[in-house]
Amino acid sequence: MHTQDSPPRHGAAPGEQDREPLESGAGTPPDIGMEHGFALAVHQALRDFHRPDHLRDNPLLGSQLVATARVQSPTTPPTQALRELIRSHCERLGQNAKSSRFQLVLQHTYLAPLRSQQAAAEALHLSWSTYRRCLADAARMLTASLWETEIALGPALAHRRGLHRAWPWFATAALIVLGAAVGAGYLHHLRRRQQATAEKVLPVTLAVLPFLDLDQDSGSRYLSDGISDELITRLGRIPALRVVARTSSFSLRDKPMDVRDIGRVLGVHDVIEGSVQRSADTLRISVALVNTANGYELWSDELTTPRSKIFEAEDAIADAVIAQLHLPADVSNAAHVDGYPTVNSEARDTYLVGMEYLNYRTVPDIKQAINYFQKSIQEDSNYADSWAGLAMAYTIWRDYTGDEPPDTHYQDALAAVKRAIALDPSSASAHAILGLLYEQHWEWPQTKHELQLALQLDPSDATAHQWYAIYFWFTGDAQKALKELRLAKTLDPLSPIINADMGRALSYAGEPQQAAAQFRTCVALAPRFGLTYTFMAENDIAIGEYQQAVDDAGMAGNLWGNPGESYLLMEESVAYAGLGQRNLARQELTELQQRASQHYLSGVMLSWPSWNLGEKDQAFAQLKRAVHDHDQFLMLVFGPDWASMRADPRFAGIRKLMNLPLTTNLH
């Protein structure tokens, strides 16, 4: 059985889709003389529209509507009369331009149903949550239509109910019912906005869900994803907004969740959702802004634009969202992109395909992303986003392979990101990448400047907050690192790596029990994310739980590949040394040394086991090599489990080589 807000099973018989129990009590027919009971009976009639055997039990058969219809056509069976009434009133909805959309929803869902409600949503080019809201609103409008006619047929009943409404029913009742519902939601939303402003609470929170790709060609999804990404980037630049990162919002793709549940999961007030359909060189974009507290649309629109004018369309969407959220009028320009007329559609499409590959975060996919970014640059050498994408691919390459020296693609990344900034100085992601590159080469003042600039340009950049936390780990302020990770987690609540780093931040700040709890949260969020277990093993070692560290490292080994194998050998060696099993510790270190003779291996991987086996000179020699190599794993040295090594006087020399202060707030 599926819930009301999940897609129905495929192949459901007509009339059996999404059957729900009546709300009037088990076995108790609703009182159609009262408005609520009448609405429940209409609801049931819609569900049973193609099941006359079920319609025979519907209380509406006793209504004046059906009685009047049978007077006009005495030979018509009651159930058939009821079906014709519903159909005719549904068609009346379609006579009003503002309501034709709702008539189509009812038509596809009940009157001439497709094989499933998911198919109906797709046929109407609506996202699942938008379709569900339209279906609910359409049912309310149809109910208002039928109820108004029922009242008009019975003056005595109207007097008893105190209802002195008359024809035309549609202009008064249907629109008033719908308008009151939507208006109530909107007024609630507005009051909350005003209260938030008065109390100076946190900025408005927003998520951009992945737009639906309505084309048959699954290979064109990069277009719809590109629009979603662009809106995340543009709206994230606005200081009064906090926009959830792509990782979290896109993780909900194809999950039939009600928008209110999405709001709770992502921690946002509002969401943007939409769809994209391509026809030759024209795009039709449907978009809606939805309040997550009540599920009502605050605004919706449909834009038809040439692909060459996509940036203008994205500007228009961003401006409309800003207006509906009642943000200061002077923030609109922050969401605009300058110079977009110079970008050709081929370069943009190629860039978007590159981003699709980059987001998979595997070595083969990163290589493919680089190829696409380079092709995009060939198509338009002045397209800053392609240069920034190329820089990001080269920058993160080192995180996904441990067999190459860390600086293998450093110069490639540096040249690409500087070109991106020269073309677009307002690119927050480019400044964040440049900050990370400076961080990797121990250039701390430049690191801080670029990351702060990135966060000024885009306060919602969760990755920039994450990288800023790493800066504070290196420079010795665990509390500031923890603050940045908390901000990153707020902006990207479903990101496995940010949640895992949050646990590490708690561990580095001297909160091992809170760290353990956070790691458990991360495991529940992403059970197959192996890096969580490696961080758990570090925390275990820091508090002396060596056997647990061996177990957690073993679990990570089941989930994580290269360079995880060497990382885990390092942790296991240290854990075995802590357990007093020096032979096993030595065995793991020997295997690491053998690997180092075959290909590049991080000096950190050799330093920590050597230290715990008493080979202190060798440990510091490997640390010095890691500093020279600009080894990304040097961040581990500032964790609590390395405290004894940091206490050695020789560690001051390591700090000096890394241009770091000699004092630290790390535990």
Per-residue pLDDT tens digits for 235-257:
988 888 899 998 899 988 877 78
Contact in structure between 470 and 439 (CB atoms under 8 Å): yes
Contact in structure between 493 and 528 (CB atoms under 8 Å): no
Q: Specify the CATH architecture of the domain 343-459.
A: Alpha Horseshoe (1.25)
Report CA-CA distances (Å) from 5 to 43, 133, 259, 288, 536.
16, 10, 9, 18, 37
Contact in structure between 576 and 582 (CB atoms under 8 Å): yes
Q: At what angle do helices 444-457 and 462-475 cross, to 10 degrees?
A: 160
pLDDT exceeds cutoff 80 at 469? yes
Residues 291 and 289: their CA atoms lie apart, in Å, by: 7
The chain-wide mean pLDDT, for the chain, equals: 82
pLDDT exceeds cutoff 50 at 171? no
| Residue 333 pLDDT class (50, 70, 90 cuts) | low
CB-CB neighbours of 23 under 10 Å: 11
- 343-459 shares its CATH topology with 485-667: yes
Mean pLDDT of 169-193: 45
Tell me the per-residue pLDDT of 102-139, one tens digit each, with 9 for 90 and over: 888 888 888 877 767 777 877 777 776 777 778 887 88
Three-state DSSP state, 615: coil
pLDDT exceeds cutoff 90 at 406? yes
Bigger pLDDT: 191 or 377?
377
The answer to which of 11-25, 53-67, 646-660 has the lowest mean pLDDT is 11-25
Per-residue pLDDT at 157:
41
Per-residue pLDDT at 186:
44
Residues 334 and 385: their CA atoms lie apart, in Å, by: 17
Three-state DSSP state, 116: coil
pLDDT exceeds cutoff 50 at 481? yes
Bigger pLDDT: 361 or 424?
424
CATH class, domain 202-332, is: alpha beta
| Residue 167 pLDDT class (50, 70, 90 cuts) | very low
Per-residue pLDDT at 184:
45
Percent of the chain with pLDDT over 90: 43
Element spanning 298, H or E = strand 297-306
Tell me the per-residue pLDDT of 487-536, one tens digit each, with 9 for 90 and over: 999 999 999 999 999 999 999 999 999 999 999 999 999 898 888 999 99
Bigger pLDDT: 658 or 332?
658
Tell me the per-residue pLDDT of 373-389, one tens digit each, with 9 for 90 and over: 999 999 999 999 999 99
Bigger pLDDT: 95 or 45?
45
pTM: 0.70
Token pair, residue 305, equals 């634009």
CATH topology of domain 485-667: 1.25.40
Per-residue pLDDT at 218:
57
Query: For 243, what's the count of Cα atoms within 13 Å in the CB-facing half-sphere?
Result: 30
Tell me the per-residue pLDDT of 28-69, one tens digit each, with 9 for 90 and over: 677 888 888 888 888 888 888 877 778 888 888 888 888 888
Per-residue pLDDT at 565:
83
Mean pLDDT of 555-582: 86
Three-state DSSP state, 579: coil
End-to-end CA distance of the chain: 52
Structural domain spans, the chain: 35-187, 202-332, 343-459, 485-667
| Residue 334 pLDDT class (50, 70, 90 cuts) | low
Per-residue pLDDT at 440:
94
| Residue 642 pLDDT class (50, 70, 90 cuts) | very high
Mean pLDDT of 573-583: 96
Bigger pLDDT: 189 or 386?
386
Contact in structure between 420 and 427 (CB atoms under 8 Å): yes
pLDDT exceeds cutoff 80 at 89? yes
Per-residue pLDDT at 170:
40
Q: Which residue from 89, 87, 37, 27 is spatially nearest to 63, judged by alpha carbons?
A: 37
Residues 242 and 381: their CA atoms lie apart, in Å, by: 32
| Residue 335 pLDDT class (50, 70, 90 cuts) | low
